[in-house]
Amino acid sequence: MDATIATIVSAQLVNQDVYHIRLRPHLPMAAVAGQYVEICLDNGWCVPYSMANDPQPGGELELYIQHFPEGRACDQVIRALTGRKEVPILVDGRVAYAPEWDKDPLILLSAGCGISQSRSIIEHRLAGTSAQPVYLCWGGRDDQELFELPQLQSWLNDRRFMADLTLESPLQGWGNARGYVVDVALQRLAWMTELERKRARVVLTGSPAMVNASIARLVQAGFCRDRLLADQDYYSPRTLTPLTVEPVTA
């Protein structure tokens, strides 16, 4: 698989350590909502980050990336995205929105920057004609793990959509839910019938521990295991050595 060069349109902090990245590929890319972008480094590492928008032909790709200075690959990615004008990228990922999803309830459970994949999928779903409900539960340990998401209010104006924000250890004055993402979600979704739970497609984004614990709870609550989707079930690290890049033709 060949990488494509993308212009770095912007790299802006949205909280103390999360960057909102906007990329403009030089060539058309077959990207689908829910997939991830791999940032390819000079040493051949290709580091994946979920897309944070519904990709359009010829349009930009957005990401939310949390900077972990102690993580060698992550630190190099942030240095490249904040210090260069262009970067090679790939698009991949088997958790991708498909037309048959329109027939089913859609649930997205996200921790921290996992909101990237959720935002991509929600944007695509709400832009379509599906009448099935969409539920988002986004959370973190504390308020340092969340950030302003401008799209949220417009989604809430859509009668098909509902959402909860939750923190495990909120400060005084927090006005939303309290607890683990999966616990808050199951409480909110208590109205779902057995059939609706079996039909629902659930996308989980977060740490492996969060995803695995959530899957166990959801299966116990009657959700169908083969409809619980997480990138960690499919992703395997990729390196390109030497790095190959598609040429840009005039």
Write down the pLDDT at residue 68.
82
Rounded to two decimals, what is the model's pTM?
A: 0.92
Which tokens sit at 130? Answer: 């599906």
| DSSP assignment of 177-235 | EES-HHHHHHHHGGG--HHHHHH-EEEEES-HHHHHHHHHHHHHTT--GGGEE-GGGT-
Over the stretch 26-41, which tens digit does the pLDDT of each residue have? 999 999 999 999 999 9
Name the pairing type of β-strands 45-50 and 36-40.
antiparallel
Over the stretch 171-201, which tens digit does the pLDDT of each residue have? 999 999 999 999 999 999 999 999 999 999 9
- The CATH number for 73's domain is 2.40.30.10
Amino acid at position 202, single letter = V
- The CATH number for 175's domain is 3.40.50.80
pLDDT at residue 239 above 50? no
Cα distances (angstroms) measured from residue 124 to each of 5, 92, 107, 127, 128: 25, 17, 14, 5, 7
Domain count, the chain: 2
CA distance 11 to 29: 21
In a shared domain, residues 113 and 161:
yes
In a shared domain, residues 109 and 218:
yes
Q: Domain containing 28: what range? A: 4-93+235-239
In a shared domain, residues 73 and 130:
no
